[in-house]
């Protein structure tokens, strides 16, 4: 087909038959990838919820009202239309708390996944590009980091330093860089043996120039894929910490914390536990589906 | 094989040293242990007194070496909170957590391996899609939430198994399921891809042409090779189960190491936290070492190459 196109460049039909550019291939695959679309829509929708929380939330998420404690959702018996998803033990509107909880989850997710990215990608590129002693040192660091019980260490550090959103972001980020490292290290090693990287070295580019101009742009796709997975992992980590009482502190509406608060009366008011869990599940599965899809449509072999 | 074993063992020792030192630094610099003992608003004179009694006024390196020397003799120091040797506390609580971790791993094996194998033998079938859906959802479900939902559903509506305590084997059913479920996606995916790869290999085609079919083909030829990576992942997952026990034990009121960890963190009991992090890390390192050895024993390419 391409031979024909080359021999008759003036023919517009033949031009259209030219093999599609990589970008076109990816876009076409993306439009057909159901997981990617579902994940993307979920992520976008929840990002919009987080962004427009003040407009969407019917009440102040921290406003307490003793007169309206533990109301069931509006459609259940005893529910009030004013509080669509009911209220919690302090009479705070549950829907508003869930909406503002999106902000906390996404903030921790993006913050922690970015910190992990900076640490992991820096170490991975250095190990893959320089090899030798640096590679050995980084690989050893990775082995040691994997051995540490992450949740336990995070709990201890957050509690000792003093729990706050920023401390949670920092600790979760600092403890989640191994996945970035493993992938960028292997990919950099592969790139290192390719001609364009060797050419950059041969033309006298410094290691920094080669890494930032030749290597890093070629890793961007893979790094974004890992970022979406780490987003989900960080969000789950924050919810676990907050659930155990060593993460986000009241009255900030964190989904993990809301589940912990609802636990006391979960047999009579299961929605207090069920609803934030569904919110967490949606956000994390959205990120994972999006990441899976992104990996499928950007990998050279493709899937399906 | 001996050289390989020695190499791995040396690496494990180095990891033990680095992990324990890093933990020691983090825990001792992030807080002032003297204030942790005395309480936040303690009188500075009292704090100074405590610092001297507990030897906290010495340089950090000296204190670490002191701690490490004790560890070599099996002495992990005394708990600030329970006023007992930490090693004694941990030894008391360890059996429950070991039982929980092992039964959780059994749950993982029983669910993940058959599901992965079925999916691999019927690629792109309904079973395959179902297995993938389970894997994707299980990865997104917060473990503590799954535990609470099980308690709400099974504890109240269908009270078959007890939902709190650790008195009999029946108390372990739900916690083991919840803790085991978290490893299902990884193990299932690995079984599936491993088995698909093996099923497409030349020697399986040869076996097929010799008339092997179904279970006999799977048992005598395919599983042996496909199971290698699964075995190492299972060992690693067992190591992680100890860390994961914090959440499961808290939810199901099991008095094991996980609960001890949460209690000692909330009590700022640094020697106990230090020992637990060290022990969990060592279980993980030990399991990794075991997996490496198993793989080397099963696969001659590793121990020779």
Q: What does each C-alpha distance from B47 to B44, B53, B172 come to in angstroms? A: 5, 10, 43
Question: Look-up: residue for tokens 């701690």?
Answer: B67
- Ordered DSSP codes for B223-254: HHHHHHHHHHHHHHHHHHHHHHHHHHHHHTT-
Cα–Cα distance for residue pair B33/A250, rounded to 1 Å:
26
Query: Are B139 and A288 an interchain contact pair (Cβ–Cβ within 8 Å)?
Result: yes
Average pLDDT across chain B, whole number = 86
B interface test, pick of A144, A290, A293 with most B CB neighbours within 10 Å: A144
Query: Are A285 and B156 an interchain contact pair (Cβ–Cβ within 8 Å)?
Result: no
pLDDT in tens, B42-57: 788 888 888 887 778 7
CB < 8 Å from A in window 120-179 of B: 136-137, 139-145, 148-149, 151-152, 155-156
Contact residues on chain A for B11, CB-CB shorter than 8 A: 140, 143
SS (H, E, C) A163-200: CCHHHHHHHHHHCCCHHHHHHHHHHHHHHHCCHHHHHH
User: What's the whole-number mean pLDDT along residues A194-216?
Assistant: 85
Closest B-chain CA to A235: B142
- Please tell me the number of Cα atoms within 13 Å of A249 on its side-chain side: 8
- pLDDT category of residue A301 using cuts at 50, 70 and 90: low
Question: Look-up: residue for tokens 């969407």?
Answer: A56
CB A291 within 8 Å of CB A228? yes
Residue B85, SS3?
strand
Cα–Cα distance for residue pair B241/B147, rounded to 1 Å:
15
- pLDDT category of residue B282 using cuts at 50, 70 and 90: very high
Tokens of A88: 């919690």
Helix axes A150-161 and B270-298, enclosed angle (nearest 10)? 160
Q: What does each C-alpha distance from A169 to A124, A241, A267, B98 come to in angstroms? A: 22, 11, 32, 32
The pTM assigned to this predicted structure is 0.88
Q: Does A233 touch chain B (CB under 8 A)?
A: no
Contact residues on chain B for A244, CB-CB shorter than 8 A: 144, 246-247, 250, 262
Residue A303 has pLDDT above 70, yes or no: no
CB count within 10 Å of CB A242 equals: 29
User: What's the whole-number mean pLDDT along residues B172-186?
Assistant: 91
Spatial neighbors of B100 by CB under 8 A, at least 6 apart, are B172, B175, B176, B179, B241, B245, B248, B249, B254, B256
User: What's the whole-number mean pLDDT along residues B4-25?
Assistant: 89
Cα–Cα distance for residue pair A221/A215, rounded to 1 Å:
12
Cα angle, residue B258 at apex, residues A232 and B51 outer, rounded to 5°:
105
- pLDDT category of residue A302 using cuts at 50, 70 and 90: very low
> Considering CB atoms only, which of B15, B277, B284 is closest to A153?
B277
CB A259 within 8 Å of CB A213? no
Q: Does A42 touch chain B (CB under 8 A)?
A: no
Q: Does B31 touch chain A (CB under 8 A)?
A: yes
Tokens of A33: 């990838």
pLDDT value of residue B305:
54
Structure letter (DSSP) for residue A20: P
CB B112 within 8 Å of CB B184? yes
Cα–Cα distance for residue pair A118/A180, rounded to 1 Å:
9
Spatial neighbors of B140 by CB under 8 A, at least 6 apart, are A232, A280, A281, A284, A285, A288
pLDDT in tens, B216-260: 777 777 777 777 788 888 888 888 888 889 999 999 989 999 999
Q: For the stretch A148-184, what's the b/e string if a residue is b when 16 or more beta carbons lie within 10 angstroms of its beta carbon?
A: bbbbbbbbbbbbbbebebebbbbbbbbbbbbbbbbbb
Cα–Cα distance for residue pair B211/B201, rounded to 1 Å:
16
| DSSP element (H, E) containing B181 | helix B173-181
Contact residues on chain A for B282, CB-CB shorter than 8 A: 147
Question: Look-up: residue for tokens 């009482």?
Answer: A245
Structure letter (DSSP) for residue A71: P
User: What's the whole-number mean pLDDT along residues A223-227?
Assistant: 93
Tell me the percentage of chain A whose pLDDT exceeds 90: 50
Q: Does B102 touch chain A (CB under 8 A)?
A: no
Residue B30: asked if its preceding bond is cis (omega within 30°), the reply is: no
- pLDDT category of residue A15 using cuts at 50, 70 and 90: low
Q: A with B: how many residue pairs have Cβ under 8 Å apart?
A: 128
CA A267, A270, A274, A276 torsion: positive or negative?
negative
> Considering CB atoms only, which of B11, B266, B276 is closest to A152?
B276
pLDDT value of residue A136:
92
- pLDDT category of residue A1 using cuts at 50, 70 and 90: very low
pLDDT value of residue A99:
94
Average pLDDT across chain A, whole number = 87
User: What's the whole-number mean pLDDT along residues A61-82?
Assistant: 79
Q: Does A146 touch chain B (CB under 8 A)?
A: yes
B interface test, pick of A147, A164, A234, A259 with most B CB neighbours within 10 Å: A147
Structure letter (DSSP) for residue A268: T
**What value of ipTM does the predicted structure carry?**
0.88
């Amino acid at each position: 087909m391409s031979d024909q196109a080359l021999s008759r460049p003036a023919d517009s039909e033949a031009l259209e038959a030219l093999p599609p550019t990589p970008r076109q291939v990816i876009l076409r695959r993306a439009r057909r990838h159901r997981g990617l679309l579902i994940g993307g829509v979920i992520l976008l929708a929840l990002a919009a919820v987080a962004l427009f929380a003040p407009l969407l939330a019917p009440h102040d998420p921290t406003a307490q009202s003793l007169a309206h404690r533990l109301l069931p959702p509006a459609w259940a018996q005893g529910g009030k239309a004013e509080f669509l998803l009911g209220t919690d033990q302090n009479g705070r509107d549950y829907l508003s708390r869930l909406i503002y909880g999106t902000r906390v989850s996404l903030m921790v997710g993006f913050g922690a996944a970015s910190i992990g990215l900076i640490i992991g990608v820096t170490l991975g590129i250095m190990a893959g590009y320089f090899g030798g002693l640096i590679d050995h040192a980084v690989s050893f660091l990775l082995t040691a980091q994997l051995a540490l019980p992450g949740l336990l260490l995070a709990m201890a550090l957050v509690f000792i330093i003093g729990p706050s959103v920023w401390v949670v972001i920092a600790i979760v980020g600092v403890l989640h860089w191994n996945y970035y490292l493993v992938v960028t290290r292997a990919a950099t090693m592969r790139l290192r043996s390719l001609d364009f990287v060797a050419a950059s070295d041969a033309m006298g580019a410094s290691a920094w120039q080669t890494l930032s101009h030749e290597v890093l742009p070629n890793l961007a796709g893979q790094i974004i894929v890992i970022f979406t997975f780490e987003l989900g992992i960080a969000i789950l980590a924050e919810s676990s910490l907050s659930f155990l009482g060593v993460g986000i502190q009241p009255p900030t509406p964190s989904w993990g914390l809301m589940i912990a608060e609802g636990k006391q009366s979960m047999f009579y008011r299961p929605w207090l536990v069920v609803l934030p869990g569904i919110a967490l599940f949606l956000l994390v599965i959205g990120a994972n589906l999006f990441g899976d899809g992104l990996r499928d449509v950007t990998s050279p072999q493709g899937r399906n | 094989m001996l050289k390989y074993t020695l190499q791995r063992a040396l690496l494990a020792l180095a990891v033990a040293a680095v992990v324990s030192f890093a933990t020691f630094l983090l825990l001792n610099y992030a807080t002032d242990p003297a204030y942790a003992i005395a309480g936040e608003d303690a009188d500075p004179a009292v704090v100074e007194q405590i610092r001297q009694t507990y030897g906290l006024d010495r340089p950090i390196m000296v204190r670490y070496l002191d701690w490490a020397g004790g560890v070599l003799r099996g002495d992990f120091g005394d708990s600030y909170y329970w006023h007992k040797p930490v090693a004694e506390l941990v030894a008391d609580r360890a059996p429950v957590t070991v039982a929980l971790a092992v039964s959780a791993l059994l749950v993982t094996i029983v669910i993940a391996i058959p599901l992965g194998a079925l999916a691999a033998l019927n690629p792109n079938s309904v079973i395959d899609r179902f297995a993938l859906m389970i894997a994707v959802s299980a990865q997104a479900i917060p473990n503590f939430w799954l535990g609470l939902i099980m308690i709400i559903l099974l504890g109240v509506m269908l009270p078959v198994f007890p939902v709190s305590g650790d008195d009999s084997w029946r108390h372990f059913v739900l916690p083991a399921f919840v803790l085991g479920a978290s490893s299902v996606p990884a193990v299932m995916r690995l079984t599936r891809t491993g088995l698909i790869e093996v099923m497409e290999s030349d020697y399986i085609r040869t076996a097929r042409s010799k008339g092997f079919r179904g279970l006999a083909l799977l048992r005598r030829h395919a599983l042996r090779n496909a199971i290698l990576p699964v075995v190492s992942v299972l060992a690693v997952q067992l190591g992680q189960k100890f860390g994961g026990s914090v959440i499961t034990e808290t939810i199901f009121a099991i008095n094991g190491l996980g609960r001890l960890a949460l209690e000692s963190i909330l009590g700022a009991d640094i020697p106990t936290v230090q020992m637990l992090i060290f022990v969990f890390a060592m279980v993980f390192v030990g399991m990794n070492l075991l997996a490496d050895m198993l793989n080397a024993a099963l696969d001659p390419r590793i121990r020779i190459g």
